[in-house]
Structure 1
Amino acid sequence: MQEIKWGMIGCGDVTEVKSGPAFNKVPKSSLVAVMRRDAEKAKDYAFRHGVPKWYADGEALINDPEVNAIYIATPPAQHEAYCQLALAAGKPVYVEKPMTLNAESGLRMEEASIRYDTKLTVAHYRRAQPMFLKIKSLLENGIIGDVRFAGLQMLQPQQSDLIANVESNWRLDPAISGGGLFHDLAPHQLDLMVYFFGEFDQSTGFSLNQSGSAKVDDLVTGQILFKNGVVFTGTWCFSVSEQDKTDVCEIIGSNGRISFPVFGNKVTLIKEGRTEVFDFEALEHVQQPMIEKVTAYFLDQAENPCSAEQAILSMKLMDSFTK
């Protein structure tokens, strides 16, 4: 391949700004076809974003001879089926997070990628953003010494502004989402922990539905022991008051600490009584840096920025917290 010509399956809110327009802003990349089961909405999306082709059937898009790579942006329940079809057609896949509903499904997707010898990347796009690359650099350079532990709190009201307003909130249907707002937001956070600290030895947690306002658990806690000795503790609650909203992760080392929001743009380094703040500009298209890396990978010019094997680790963590 000399250029990646993307076919996008799913035209929901995540694709309007976060990802969709970025495919045409990356060198050697263009969005040539989109699909949504509602034909009128697919046509409307294509018209508004200047996409030449639109479909109401995913398999038809996959089989379009002009399309040579697939981006799957449907709700998680549909990820595996579309991924299997695309890989069987020999077309590399970039699939949204969470990778799928659970680790078992993720392993099947990974096995299909191996069986069909076709590339698969998962959209844990924070791995490519400048803010999180800075944090990784601080850790790798030992700026806060040896990391001891990390703690995370994600506390949100039921109507969190981190979630796009949609006609029907499929995120609150566990059969579609895997398990509520935790399964929508935690993949970002847990993948970052895997990105920073590597593989883990043990993980455990529990979850429950405290508010009873939907069919999903709205409180999740989890602990991880990484192979390098780092311990992580996290709390996610989606039924707090507006005034108690919190999004903070702290990484504590032997010589200091790093504090940051996962859904924000500021990193605070505290070391030897001094505080240093790193501010980052909000990205117009949050997935653009990742799409650049995926495009390079699909063109055999770079390594996989987030493999199925890596993404399955965060799926296993979510499964262990919510089992």
Structure 2
Amino acid sequence: MKAIVVVKSGEAAIVEKVEPELRPNYVKVKVRAVALNPKAEADRTTPLPADWKHIDLFARGGETVGCDFSGIVTKIGCSVTSDVKVGDAIYGLVHGSKIGCRDTGAFAEYAVVKDGLFAKIPPNQTFEDAATWGSATVTNILGLWQKLDLPTPSQPSKEKFPLLVYGGSSAMGMVAIQLAKLAGLYVVTTASKRNFELLKREYGVDAVFDYNDPDCAALIRQETGDNLRYVFDCISNDSSARISAESLAPSATATGTLHYCKLLPVDSFPRSDVEQSVVLGYTAFGEAFEFFGRQRQPVPADYAICTRYWPLMTSLIADGRLKASRFEVREGGLDGIFEGLQVLREGKNSAMKLVYRISR
């Protein structure tokens, strides 16, 4: 098969390689479409979630790139328990650019996917729609329902308390807003002014504020009545951390524990009275992996919660209650992906995922 493989740090190319080996608890798919994961800015200091950063920052060579996919099942491992058969159309997530492993990665003609981290594509979704859901599904499950322990759409909150989704026009933010609204929360967010109406009209956010406004945090505190206890930071840099800290309730003792969940490590968070957590999506696979020279141990609980809630996410999509983040389909197949990666490197995308068809 053909695949986009890291040749050396900072360089990837299309190469011909043997199809990935099918393990007992995996399925093999013929890839139909893939989505590129953007970062809201061309920030080279943090590695996630952008696929181009895997190439440029920490992959060593030999790894297949790409995480989000949709495709057709061609083979099923002997230990797979999911209700799936050969010929089914599925979407899901793979561990792209996994160091020391040449059999994972979505930017290829064939991919292998772990049981529980995929689902059948609902009838109301195209292959291109479905390709955008993998990372968003895992990240929001881990962030909203595990790290922050917030209510789910299946068990909505009886109290309409506020949540700040920082970076509402990001791919993760758009999904987080909808899930929080379906769970009965009062959702405020930040974005650039050009995306205000999009977030209100399409994704139902209750209030949106300009992160460039010097009074952004003060306005959020006013909107939430100084009672904001939860922040889901989908941007995760020093500026978002500062605004998030200033937006939270002024006293943890008066309102209960304050929680700040980020998608990336942040160098400094200017409050010591806030409980912090970080989502590292690779833990969803429940397997060991290397990350920036550090060996990470398996986290079975992360795999368990993702497999538990993936069917809920799929049902919300199928019912039309959950809309995908905005995306643009571009031509060129595997070759075209290199153009998309460069667009993301240069930070030229906004409120949009890039999707490429790999086969028909």
Which TM class, normalised by the smaller chain length?
A: 0.3 to 0.5
Q: Which has the higher helix share?
A: 1
TM-score between the two structures when normalised by the length of structure 1: 0.38
